[in-house]
Structure 1
């Protein structure tokens, strides 16, 4: 069994605990938390499993890493603390652990990542013999392996569009939804996640990754942005009220330009309520979905819906992103130490998990 640590117990960390517990090759040996109220609580309780796992959460990072875990699922946020996340991850790699995480956007396309992100990881790999694989929580597979797989089914491909379409009224992450993305904020508020160049910083690596796989050269990466206000005040189950006149929907694109045309596009259509921007793309059930559209001959469209945590589509996206990361651990353990991306790490069948009871 591969000794595995889950670091962080938010939306991603909860799903990670469940995924590690369900994986036949992994053993959940420690859970790292930051909030004092979580210290000492059982991992099964924190993950919403309804049963104890016999693993008490701890904030003793040094002690956990000193035990020499073989793998770490780093589920702490890197949105507002990328330097801190990088330091944590390098620390785990340096003790020889395989680390999987969605936290470091620049390393989605690790070959073209800025030196300030790439070099510390490579130094940690050289020092300790660990590895790192970064894949997005939006989820990464929807912006790399899925569209690339489907593109191979066409005779000709004119453009690839990857869409995340979600109503975030059930998403329990107010800091990200209100502060980073700006839902419920005045329309003159400038959300940090939507500032010029920030979407490219986050999703540009996936555009470059797909271009590399497809063997095309990008002229540049462009961004588009549209925001809509709420016409009426709405109240959400998890995050309270969002007032009329404040931002209620966001639509943006990160476009990979090839020979002057947008050929590889990552698009997000995000609402806080279905009533806002009804003319924009909507998911089949009104809650949330990920969609890949291959424009060409034939035209191919694939929509993926996933649910988790009481039929929550947002949680389902987190869970599938985590499944991609956790499912890569045993492959990474068997591979040479290094820095990996989605083109390096295969998406494999769920060996040993078919028919197992839900954790």
Structure 2
């Protein structure tokens, strides 16, 4: 039985919290919440679990570390506060506690992450004899597991493209996802940080370089491109109301270039309702979202992954899958040697832990 602390209860965290409570091989030891409205509430209330757990949410990190859990599931937003997140993760790891998480996407491919984010986490793992594993569905699964599957089906690959194409209209997260991506921002307003020069390439570049290394190629450069779409008509959706002249869709990509040609692409195409960016790529067959890999080669391979749920929106279903990527790895990561863990380190059969319970 692994004792686990859930760190944050947002769009991903509430799903990982629910998974931890329901798993017979995990014991919920504590819950961290930053919102004053959540502090002191039973964990069950924060994830719609039917029965009280007796575990109350707190913002006292030291008290949670004093519980000496085997693992912390870290799903707190990190992309808009990376320095603070690195400090929190370092404190947990240096205390000898393993971490699995979906945040700090720079670390999805840790061996190819930039020094400023990787080095302090490496030092914390060494100091505490602990392990850190970061993954998700994108970045993560589509660019490091699905793409490996696709590439294993060709005798020769000319190029590979990984895409997330999603309608975020029903995603109730204007405060973070909406603001970070710049939805509802006028064209002449200050650029959101995501679209500043080098930011997209910094965040997704590690996965591009990791895939290039797996293919045995040395890229000439890793570049980025971004394009925003501003609506001529008002758009009303769960995320927000977008007025004419404000951004309602965006596509951005990190690209690996070899001999003057783009050979690896990792791209997001995100919109608010199907009225936005009608000329851009859409998911197939009327789906609201897809994680897609296309390999141009011999033969051509295209794999489309759709997530769904009988009650929740597909964007919420994607958050469940994101949570699954780390919760299912807890046992393996706790047994792993100290240090940074990459997805390729973990045998895929070792994360089939969400079945038959």
TM-score range, shorter chain: over 0.9
- CA–CA distance in structure 2, aligned partners of residues 50 and 184 of structure 1: 37
Show the 5 A alignment for 1:127-206: 127-136=127-136, 138-189=138-189, 190-206=191-207
1:350 CA drift (Å): 5.7
What is the RMSD computed on CA atoms of the aligned residues?
A: 1.8
Show the 5 A alignment for 1:59-98: 59-98=59-98
Give the conservation status (yes or no) of the 8 Å contact 1:309–1:316. no
Show the 5 A alignment for 1:91-106: 91-106=91-106
Q: Secondary structure at the match of 1:170?
A: coil
Q: Secondary structure at the match of 2:160?
A: strand
Structure 2 residues not aligned, in runs of 5+: none
1:309 CA drift (Å): 8.3
Q: Does 1:43 align with 2:43?
A: yes
Give the conservation status (yes or no) of the 8 Å contact 1:218–1:257. yes
Which residue of 1 is the match for residue 11 of structure 2?
11
1:128-186 CA deviation, whole Å, 9 max, x = no partner? 11111122453411111110122011122111111101111111221334322111111
Q: Does 1:249 align with 2:223?
A: no
Structure 1 residues not aligned, in runs of 5+: none
TM-score (norm 1): 0.93
1:352 CA drift (Å): 5.5
Give the conservation status (yes or no) of the 8 Å contact 1:289–1:313. no
- CA–CA distance in structure 2, aligned partners of residues 93 and 352 of structure 1: 24
- CA–CA distance in structure 2, aligned partners of residues 318 and 181 of structure 1: 17
- CA–CA distance in structure 2, aligned partners of residues 182 and 40 of structure 1: 33
Paired residues in the alignment total 355
1:351 CA drift (Å): 4.4
Q: Secondary structure at the match of 1:343?
A: helix
Which residue of 1 is the match for residue 114 of structure 2?
114
- CA–CA distance in structure 1, aligned partners of residues 98 and 234 of structure 2: 46
Which residue of 2 is the match for residue 232 of structure 1?
233
Which residue of 1 is the match for residue 211 of structure 2?
210
